[in-house]
Structure 1
Amino acid sequence: MATDNRGRKLPKGIRQRSKDGFEGRFTYQHKTYTVHGETVTKTQKAMTELKYKLEHGIYADKKKITLNDWFTTWMEEYKKNQVKTGTYTNYQNYYNFAIKERMGSNLISDIRGEHIQKLYNDLVDNEYTLSSIKLVKAILNGCLKQAMRNGLIERNPVPLATLPRQKEKKERQAMTKEQQTLFMEYAKDSYLYNLFAVMLRTGMRIGEITGLKYTDIDKRKNVIHIQRTLLYINNEGYMECDPKTKTSNRDIPLTAALCELLENQRKFWGFKVERIDRYLFCTEKGEPLGRQRVQYEIDRITKQITAAGHDFPRITAHVFRHTFATRAIEAGMQPQVLKTILGHSSLTMTMDLYSHVLPDTKADEMEKIANVF
């Protein structure tokens, strides 16, 4: 039986290392496993835990764990019940598109800072935005930080890499008043006319308006309650999620024009939308309306416009939100009020919109004070 440096007997399978700590060794299914600990008690505990994992088939040799393997474990065991469904899906999508093919087959024990740096540089070359690369960094950092806590790697390599320099932001796209009028004129025959008109008058996000139910229209308080967002999850279908942020859960005041549009939509398909599970904006069969279907209809309308000889840019559903914000700023809506209607999490986001719109009106504003001097 082995003894420690003081000559005391040690438990079976444990010996004292020459410099520090203890080593525990045992055999399972003809293979030898070794663990280490600062004390005898910690070494025994490590041996017990490892034996349990081996007996229950949940042990993974850290020398053979790939990033793909560990990411799957991290998502299932550490993130699934901690983050919103939308966030979970977003992590999955970013990993699959930005990380998996580039370094997913690497062993996590082999990943170094230069591998992370190469990933960032490759994403820049493929025109990923800085905000997207920051999300990639957050995913990798959380994933590998947990691997380090679990003793699978000695060091988290993510902090060793440097994010790329911020490129000049693309100008926010919003329709001009002329473009807005032109689009709605050509959209008159569209089954999504009411949806486009409501988006222009509220600035709702696409997931918010497709998740809107007739029960969210509160005529007594004269507001629209934004309480959910509709999200499509691959292989699972449509799911209702909480709004994007805490401030996204909000009330938007009802105007007479909005009431008319929403009432028209309630009658549009000829079925009752008061059912608790029925979305106000839906397909002809009463099924959820997907983002791709909305985008297809936007593209169909813009093609008609350009075919008629008009110069018109390709737009997305998000452009309607920016267009609402632009019209609101032009009309003199105060930043704090616009912030609450849009559901921004900070006033900085709203003021960023102002910085985009105000340069176009500053000449007019200067004229207002020209006679003061």
Structure 2
Amino acid sequence: MAAIKKYQDKDGNTRYQFQIYLGTDPLTGKKKTTRRRGFKTKKEAQIVLSRLELDVYNHGLPAKNDNSIFSDIYQLWFTQYQHTVKESTWATTKRMFRLHILPVFGEYRIAQITIKDCQKAINQWFNEGLAKYHTLMNYVAKVLDYAINIDLISENPAKRVIVPVNKNDRSRKNLENYFDKPELQHFFECLNDDDNTPQASVFFRLAAFSGMRKSEMLCLEWSDIDFVHHTISVNKTQSRGDMARLLVQTPKTARSNRTVFIDPKTVQILQRWQLEQKKYLIRFGFNINHSNNYVFANENNEMFQPSKPRKWLEHTLTKYDLKHVTVHAFRHTYATLAFEAGASVKSVQDQLGHSSYRTTLDIYTAVTAKQKNEATQKLASYLNF
């Protein structure tokens, strides 16, 4: 009788596990064991253990389908996975497998994949500079977990790799991806003088003064804006589905589904743009009475591709030799300047829809550290001895 043991998982939760002797493999003469873990109660572990013991007693050593290859098991797993997530999520996952995982593991026999194979793969992705190298290995682990569930293998080698650590301070670079107040003012001066589409000025004004995500703004409809109360209802997001088609979906988290506030001048800018847009729509025969017309739309009155704001931005930054930032920088700019203006962490978190308090606090900490440094310099200059 195998012993059921209690342990603590990485989150500190009590879980149960057992290891059972399966017998001797007649092909190799080696003793075989299997381990099961992650049971929430001892009773759950006991039920599975009893079934395994009965199976071994009746049938001997479980047979392994050594001919099953990774790509086949991936297809079985992916069919089930599609029913558990949104299309944009499974489409991204499918792309990650096609581009990175299947070229490495696709033809491997499931039963022959080793810790060494998995370690080599994650090291390769890391050395290639793939930002989500750890996510790729997590997906490999999910497929191998599925192989365990259908009794093809007994252990998951992907869960025993040593994950490389990126020593580049990417978080610091992200924190520096913003405009300070003079830089933001100069950017809008250049943008307004440029021959960019008027939509670019409105887009980046709203981004900088509301903190909304690009994906939220690109599917924003006029009916989402309350010009009386100066608010915007953020209730959807633009994303990619299968075959890279554009989708409009509900936000990923409850916090992302929120009401954001806009200042009076931004309200006026949006109202002026709405009038300009209506003139264009009338001129080209579009119905201006649809409340679901997009705030930012192409010549066919359809959503822009997600690359469009980046093209607007790169054009202006290059033409006027400005500091290089990303479109996401305007969201970070909002948070940074709001903190410098004295806003609370809670109010900024609510406005941005950060699901993690830590994300907001990281920006706040960087701002306050800068302010403390300026205070010391001002004091030293004042005392001057």
Equivalence for 1:178 = 182
Identify if the C-alpha distance between structure 1 residues 285 and 140 changes in structure 2 by more than 3 Å, giving closer, same or farther: same
Identify if the C-alpha distance between structure 1 residues 317 and 152 changes in structure 2 by more than 3 Å, giving closer, same or farther: same
Structure 2: distance between partners of 1:40 and 1:363: 69
Identify if the C-alpha distance between structure 1 residues 274 and 87 changes in structure 2 by more than 3 Å, giving closer, same or farther: farther
Counterpart mapping for 1:61-72 below 5 A: 62-72=65-75
For the pair 1:212 / 2:220, whether they are aligned, the reply is yes
Structure 1: distance between partners of 2:179 and 2:228: 33
Q: Which amino acid aligns with 1:279?
A: Y
Structure 2: distance between partners of 1:89 and 1:357: 37
Structure 1: distance between partners of 2:188 and 2:378: 32
Q: Which amino acid aligns with 1:283?
A: N
Structure 2: distance between partners of 1:40 and 1:64: 22
Equivalence for 1:106 = 108
How far apart are residue 147 of structure 1 and its match?
A: 1.6
Identify if the C-alpha distance between structure 1 residues 180 and 93 changes in structure 2 by more than 3 Å, giving closer, same or farther: farther
Identify if the C-alpha distance between structure 1 residues 236 and 91 changes in structure 2 by more than 3 Å, giving closer, same or farther: closer
SS in structure 1 of the partner of residue 243 of structure 2 = coil
Q: Which amino acid aligns with 1:159?
A: K
- Asked if structure 2 preserves the Cα contact closer than 8 Å seen for 1:89 and 1:233, the reply is yes
Structure 2: distance between partners of 1:42 and 1:221: 72
- Asked if structure 2 preserves the Cα contact closer than 8 Å seen for 1:214 and 1:274, the reply is no
Equivalence for 1:323 = 333
Q: Which amino acid aligns with 2:365?
A: S
- Asked if structure 2 preserves the Cα contact closer than 8 Å seen for 1:174 and 1:319, the reply is yes
- Asked if structure 1 preserves the Cα contact closer than 8 Å seen for 2:345 and 2:360, the reply is yes
SS in structure 2 of the partner of residue 294 of structure 1 = helix
**Unaligned 5+ residue runs, structure 2?**
1-22, 25-51, 282-286
Structure 1: distance between partners of 2:96 and 2:54: 40
Identify if the C-alpha distance between structure 1 residues 169 and 39 changes in structure 2 by more than 3 Å, giving closer, same or farther: closer
Structure 2: distance between partners of 1:196 and 1:137: 37
Q: Which amino acid aligns with 2:69?
A: T
Deviations 1:203-261 (Å, cap 9, x if unpaired)? 11110110111111123543211101011335262111121322111110132122112
- Asked if structure 2 preserves the Cα contact closer than 8 Å seen for 1:205 and 1:318, the reply is yes
How far apart are residue 124 of structure 1 and its match?
A: 1.7
Counterpart mapping for 1:164-313 below 5 A: 164-170=164-170, 171-172=173-174, 173-188=177-192, 189-191=195-197, 192-235=200-243, 237-269=245-277, 270-271=280-281, 275-306=290-321, 312-313=322-323
Moved more, 226-235 or 180-189: 180-189
Equivalence for 2:345 = 335
Structure 2: distance between partners of 1:42 and 1:316: 63
Structure 2: distance between partners of 1:118 and 1:40: 34
Specify the structure having the higher radius of gyration (Cα). 1
Structure 1: distance between partners of 2:100 and 2:204: 32
How far apart are residue 277 of structure 1 and its match?
A: 4.3
Q: Which amino acid aligns with 1:105?
A: E
Q: Which amino acid aligns with 1:353?
A: I
Identify if the C-alpha distance between structure 1 residues 264 and 102 changes in structure 2 by more than 3 Å, giving closer, same or farther: farther
**Unaligned 5+ residue runs, structure 1?**
1-18, 21-35, 47-60, 307-311
- Asked if structure 1 preserves the Cα contact closer than 8 Å seen for 2:233 and 2:259, the reply is yes
Equivalence for 1:6 = none
- Asked if structure 2 preserves the Cα contact closer than 8 Å seen for 1:266 and 1:273, the reply is no
Moved more, 111-120 or 270-279: 270-279
Equivalence for 2:27 = none
Structure 1: distance between partners of 2:293 and 2:68: 46
Identify if the C-alpha distance between structure 1 residues 291 and 85 changes in structure 2 by more than 3 Å, giving closer, same or farther: same
Structure 1: distance between partners of 2:85 and 2:58: 33
Q: Which amino acid aligns with 2:77?
A: W
SS in structure 2 of the partner of residue 246 of structure 1 = coil
For the pair 1:351 / 2:361, whether they are aligned, the reply is yes
Structure 2: distance between partners of 1:276 and 1:266: 11
Structure 2: distance between partners of 1:254 and 1:194: 13
- Asked if structure 1 preserves the Cα contact closer than 8 Å seen for 2:118 and 2:161, the reply is yes
SS in structure 2 of the partner of residue 247 of structure 1 = coil
Structure 2: distance between partners of 1:313 and 1:40: 67
Q: Normalized against structure 1, the TM-score is what?
A: 0.76
Q: Which amino acid aligns with 2:359?
A: M
- Asked if structure 2 preserves the Cα contact closer than 8 Å seen for 1:186 and 1:304, the reply is no
How far apart are residue 186 of structure 1 and its match?
A: 2.3
Structure 2: distance between partners of 1:355 and 1:232: 34
Structure 2: distance between partners of 1:39 and 1:294: 60
How far apart are residue 366 of structure 1 and its match?
A: 4.7
Structure 2: distance between partners of 1:360 and 1:187: 28
Q: Normalized against structure 2, the TM-score is what?
A: 0.74
Structure 1: distance between partners of 2:230 and 2:324: 35
Structure 2: distance between partners of 1:187 and 1:197: 10
Moved more, 361-370 or 219-228: 361-370
- Asked if structure 2 preserves the Cα contact closer than 8 Å seen for 1:232 and 1:290, the reply is no
Structure 2: distance between partners of 1:362 and 1:274: 52
